[in-house]
Amino acid sequence: MSNAEPVLRMEGITKIFSGVTALSQVDLALARGEVHALVGENGAGKSTLIKIMTGAYTRDGGQMFLEGRAVDFRTPEDAQAEGVVAVYQEVNLLTFRTVAENIYLGREPRRFGLIDWKQMNADAAALLKRLGLDIDPRAPLGSLNIALRQMVAIARGVSFDAKVVVLDEPTSSLTEHEVQILYDVIRRLKAEGTAVVYISHRFDELYTVCDRVTILRDGRFVATRPLAGLEKIDLVCLMLGKQREELRQGTTAFKGATEAAAGETPLLSAENLKRGRKLNDVTVEVARGEIVGMAGLLGSGRTETARAIFGADSVEAGEVRLEGKTIKRGSVNEAIDSGIAFLTEDRKAEGIIPELSVRENLTLAALPALSTLGVVSRARQTEIVDKFMKRLGIKAANADQKIRELSGGNQQKVLLARWLCKNPKFLILDEPTRGIDIGAKGEIQSLVGELAESGLGVLMISSELEELVEGSSRVVVMRDGQRVGELRGDDISQANIIRAMAEGTTGEATAASTATAHVTDTTPPAAEPPSVPPAKGA
């Protein structure tokens, strides 16, 4: 077969979901050994297209060819048998089963008809090691955090020796280190001649690993281009269907945050939180109108801090106060009642209620406020739902569509809206813009910024450093369950955050050049020397 013949070719693909066209006449051709990016706004149809490619959905029109031969995958099993494999957007694995079982499900090695557990665990261990992952193949999947689960899903995907591997937003919960591992994996697949489809909303990633890009807009094919020589801004234009001049400059939509006036009682103070080895004496304070960023590698205690503040995990020691009033330890109800909101990172498990409509999911937390004597005011509900759907650009057929049917990014927006419409006093965002397209990201960021201006306190956990740098007035850096420092004002830069995450050295500590300062800097901000430069933009 000639090299020019695509491994996989899709032509005129159309998909209609109960009357709504999700894809119309989409073409895609994958060459051997290429990494092909698929981009488009939330709801553009990326996931739908690859689900059709891998047999999870059946198409309503169009044709598909594998190595020139017309194929028709009816189930993921069919597609896998032909060497077309996907790692889907939502981590879709088996929680109670072991890592090795998840990787080899359906292909378990056997001896005399019985599963060869030893072989399976050894194979899995070798595979994980090759990918640079320190995961016990015999651990139940449920004992791993989301990032590691995602790596297991990826390990499963690459273990097939497939012709085509699809990665739908593979990096959404990965940290920098794991993203590097993933790049290595992708390069190896490429060298072996595998075609890789790579879906992501993070453009730097696309430019790092991808050769060509196909752009979808509103379920339609826009273009396929080589990435080399295509400017980022032009790519965004193609994606949004706008002209260059119409686009706003800057990577995030934060205007630059204000810092709390000294001496004021903080809106929220969490003091000396302690929980096993995961949280060691962590103190965080957030003032009214302040956006405090929280940085750290995976497992550094960021999410644990958030959960402890919210009362989702009970702490062994420590105190959380909102407006000076102590909140009972480990009581989510009390936290919510006093005005704390928490957008969790694991939306699938902790957030959406798949069978309920967008309307119901969105207003779930606000229902008490929307009802009189237990009867929900439909008018007020509609008003709120409309407002947020418009403001966040939530793409759904209508407010009564089941949330399960929305694209990943749009589900996310609904969850964010759920908390925002409660008018919280203090909002914890754990990876607020993960999986959100570039246009909507700006909307979310500017909305959070606006809310902060009107007095909301925000604790924003993010692995996207730009977001932290441009959005926060202070950045708290975590490592190994400890708070290892804080950056303020002009010290907040990507380089400084990375250094602090890695070494536990903050800007201040470097200045003082004390070798011992790093791991123990847990002083509350109020007690720090007033040598802090003024916040930028303030």
Partner 1 sequence: MSQAATTIDEGGSAHGRLMRARFASFAQRQGALIALVAVCVFAAIRYERFLTEENLVNVLRQNSMLGLVALGMTFVILTGGIDLSVGSLMAVAGVAAATLAGQGALIAVVAAVAITTVLGLVNGVVIAKARIQPFIVTLAMMIAARGLVLAYTGEKSVGIGKSSETLTSLGRDFVGPVPVPVVFLVVLFALGWLVLNHTRFGRHVYALGDNDEAARLMGLNTARVTIGVYALSGALAGLAGVLDAARLGAGRPVAGQGDELNAIAAVVVGGTLLTGGQGSVLATLVGVLLLGLIFNVFNFEGWISPWWQAVLRGLFLLVVVIVQNRLSRRK
45 binds, among ligand ATP, Mg ion, partner 1, none (CB under 5 to 8 A by kind): ligand ATP
Interaction pattern, residues 83-122, with Mg ion; x per rule: CB under 5 A = ------x---------------------------------
Q: CA-to-CA distance for 485 and 493, rounded, in angstroms?
A: 14
Q: Please say whether the beta carbons of 64 and 28 come within 8 A.
A: no
Interaction pattern, residues 359-398, with ligand ATP; x per rule: CB under 6 A = ------------------------------------xx--
Q: How far is CA 501 from the centre of its chain?
A: 19
Q: Is 403 in the site for ligand ATP (CB under 6 A)?
A: no
Q: Is 353 in the site for partner 1 (CB under 8 A)?
A: no
Q: For ligand ATP, which residue of 407, 463, 472, 506 counts as binding (CB under 6 A)?
A: 407
Q: Is 40 in the site for ligand ATP (CB under 6 A)?
A: yes
Which ranges of 87-225 would DSSP assign to H, the alpha helix?
99-104, 117-130, 146-158, 176-191, 203-209
Quote the longest CA-to-CA distance of the chain: 74
> How many chain residues touch ligand ATP (CB under 6 A)?
21
Q: Is 92 in the site for partner 1 (CB under 8 A)?
A: yes
Q: CA-to-CA distance for 405 and 535, rounded, in angstroms?
A: 43
Q: For ligand ATP, which residue of 309, 406, 468, 484 counts as binding (CB under 6 A)?
A: 406
Residues 6+ apart with CB under 8 A from 172: 89, 150, 200, 434, 435
Q: For ligand ATP, which residue of 11, 12, 16, 17 counts as binding (CB under 6 A)?
A: 17
Q: For partner 1, which residue of 110, 118, 232, 328 counts as binding (CB under 8 A)?
A: 110
Q: Which of 335, 172, 251, 286 is nearest to 524 (CA)?
A: 286
Let me know how many helices (H) and strands (E) the chain has, helices first. Answer: 20, 24
What's the per-residue H, E or C state across 321-358?
EECCEEECCCCHHHHHHCCEEEECCCHHHHCCCCCCEH
Interaction pattern, residues 76-115, with ligand ATP; x per rule: CB under 6 A = -------------x--------------------------
Residue nearest ligand ATP by beta-carbon distance: 409
CB-facing half-sphere around the CA of 140: CA atoms within 13 A: 5
Q: CA-to-CA distance for 164 and 48, rounded, in angstroms?
A: 16
- Whole-number Cα distances in Å, 25 to 15, 21, 63, 214, 215: 9, 10, 10, 14, 13
From 112-120, 244-252, 305-313, 482-490, span contacting partner 1 (CB under 8 A): 112-120
Q: CA-to-CA distance for 256 and 10, rounded, in angstroms?
A: 45
Q: Please say whether the beta carbons of 284 and 483 come within 8 A.
A: yes
Q: By CB under 5 A, what part of segment 387-416 binds Mg ion?
A: 407-408
Min separation Cβ 140 and partner 1, Å? 10
Q: Please say whether the beta carbons of 174 and 182 come within 8 A.
A: yes
Q: For partner 1, give the closer residue by CB, 149 or 441.
A: 149
Interaction pattern, residues 40-79, with partner 1; x per rule: CB under 8 A = ----------------x------------------xxx-x
Q: Is 485 in the site for ligand ATP (CB under 6 A)?
A: no
Q: CA-to-CA distance for 238 and 40, rounded, in angstroms?
A: 9
Q: Is 314 in the site for partner 1 (CB under 8 A)?
A: no
- Residue 169 falls in which region: left (phi positive, over 0), alpha (psi -120 to 50) or beta: left
Q: Is 349 in the site for partner 1 (CB under 8 A)?
A: no
Q: Which amino acid is at 249?
A: Q
Q: Is 272 in the site for partner 1 (CB under 8 A)?
A: yes
Residue nearest Mg ion by beta-carbon distance: 47
Min separation Cβ 369 and ligand ATP, Å? 28
Binding site for ligand ATP (CB under 6 A): 17, 20, 22, 40, 42-48, 89, 395-396, 405-410, 437
Binding site for partner 1 (CB under 8 A): 56, 75-77, 79-81, 86, 88, 92-97, 101-102, 105-106, 108, 110, 113-115, 117, 156, 272, 274, 316-318
